[in-house]
Amino acid sequence: MSSVDRTFAGSIPAIYDALLVPLIFAPYAADLARRLASRPLTRVLEVAAGTGVVTRALASTLDERVSLVATDLHQAMLDQAAARGTVRAVEWQRADAMDLPFDDETFDAVVCQFGVMFYPDKARGHAEARRVLRPGGAYIFTVWDRLEENEIPHVVTTALEAVFPENPPRFMARVPHGYHDRGVIARDVAGGGFTLPPHIDTVAARSRAASAREAAVAFCQGTPLRNEIDARDPAAIERATAAAAREIERRFGGGPVDARIQAHVVTAQRV
């Protein structure tokens, strides 16, 4: 994976938070918080927290006595999350999921929403989560299902093939939707030291935007897809966004967009 695929900088964090979070992340944040709510918890770690959509859901759902630590590799994303705020205190800390700066067995749960796909070494990331978990603790993470099961990013990827026919941007297929094979996921979790097979739920939800333009901006300008477009032609971002908007409108009509999204929710237990 190139550094372009992992760079969240410039205008990306603000657009990501304003448009992409409500478009595709919010339903799964609520789902993840519900899965933790019934567990006995004192301290929870979130890795790859991004701009804090899961953090906010956890802060609102879990008992206020549960300590929350939210981390991300990218300081700009954490700054956006902290500026947005939470209903109660959260410890924000820059950290690499491949090398967590925490002692062994210090958390009752580790959660990660749509971050594992960016790990350069999936098994190592899972091993770090296991290391900081207390015995009996839960590791819950979500990853996107294949691109074809997620309508808007699939349409955007297809639209950009016409803009860059010789070298179409494939970020969405390569990274966010590139870690969907349930067998591979289970193998990597085992490679991280979890001795029990993970439980994997496939969860469908709806992705809604006020307009095709809004959805196109979310993906073309609020994700590292922006970096891939800029690398091909620094002046092409508006042309690419407009092409994506036209294709989304052709697919879903001229009004609000309502599309299918689908993800895997993986739960592993430390023995």
In whole angstroms, give the CA distance from residue 112 to residue 107: 14
Range 171-194 average pLDDT: 98
CA angle 57, 75, 73 (to 5 degrees): 80
- Asked whether 176 and 48 are in contact (CB, 8 A), the reply is no
Q: How many domains does the chain have?
A: 1
pLDDT of residue 6: 63
Q: What is the pLDDT of residues 123-174, one digit of tens each?
A: 999 999 999 999 999 999 999 999 999 999 999 999 999 999 999 999 999 9
CB atoms within 10 A of CB 27: 18
Q: What is the CATH number of the domain that holds 254?
A: 3.40.50.150
pLDDT of residue 1: 56
User: Is the confidence at residue 26, as pLDDT, over 70?
Assistant: yes
The order of strands in the sheet holding 199-209 is: 91-94, 67-72, 43-46, 107-113, 133-144, 257-269, 199-209
Sorting pLDDT into bands at 50, 70 and 90, what band is 2? low
pLDDT of residue 3: 63
Backbone angles phi, psi at 9, to 5 degrees: -145, 180
Q: Token digits for 18?
A: 């304003």
In whole angstroms, give the CA distance from residue 124 to residue 164: 35
Q: What is the pLDDT of residues 209-240, one digit of tens each?
A: 999 999 999 999 999 999 999 999 999 999 99
Q: Strand locations in the chain, DSSP E?
A: 43-46, 67-72, 91-94, 107-113, 133-144, 199-209, 257-269
Q: Which domain holds residue 185?
A: 3-269
